[in-house]
Amino acid sequence: MKRTSLIIIALVVVVLGLSGCGYNSMVKLDEQVSSQWAQVENVYQRRADLIPNLVNTVKGYANFEKDVLTAVTEARSKATSVNVDPSKLSPESIQQFQQAQGQLSSALSRLLVVVEKYPDLKANQNFLELQAQLEGTENRITVERNKFNEVTQQYNTKIRTFPNNIMASMFGFDKKGYFQAEAGADKAPEVQF
């Protein structure tokens, strides 16, 4: 019995020695994932903050389709209500977040398509500035999502490789989820003239 305990202790010491006590590096990577998640939320919040100004600018045009504005407002409300705890970045929670944000993106796309019917609105300087800010924010979202996936990959690789996986399971380091491409993104849109 005593000999078995000594063997187990020796094995734990060897594993910890081989891993270079990877606990600290796992904590560091976990913090990087959380920090990058905060950046992702930050750029999505910036987009959400631009939408009321965009909707108010568009509302000024009397003939504008009210259902499109309502859809944008409702999608914004839903997207901002989905909160993900950075310590629980599971694939399911990220997918739920991404789905709500995707619905908002879709509603904004419909809004911008309908705007094409209104030359006065397209010429409105305030609208043009808001549209440019929104486009810039969409680019930032893409950049921050890519950075999030990169740090998440580093973290997931660290906790899944031997012997770090032993330490990770002992201390509760769980695999984090990634942002995925939207459904149908692998198919080119059909264009007809």
Q: What is the pTM of this model?
A: 0.78
C-alpha span between 76 and 63 (Å, rounded): 22
Please write down the long-range contacts of 78-85, taking CB distance under 8 Å and 24 or more positions apart.
Answer: 78/103, 78/104, 79/44, 79/48, 79/103, 79/104, 80/45, 80/48, 84/37, 84/41
At residue 64, the 3 state secondary structure works out as coil
Most confident segment among 13-17, 85-89, 146-150, 179-183: 146-150
Dig out the tokens for 1 from the structure: 């019995």
Dig out the tokens for 182 from the structure: 């939207």
Residues 6+ apart with CB under 8 A from 79: 44, 48, 100, 101, 103, 104
Domain assignments of the chain as residue spans, ordered by start: 44-171
The structure tokens 């694939």 sit at 91
Overall average pLDDT of the 62-79 stretch: 82
Residues 6+ apart with CB under 8 A from 15: 163, 166, 167
19-30: pLDDT as tens digits: 456 889 999 999
C-alpha span between 95 and 98 (Å, rounded): 5
Overall average pLDDT of the 61-78 stretch: 81
155-171: pLDDT as tens digits: 999 999 998 999 899 89
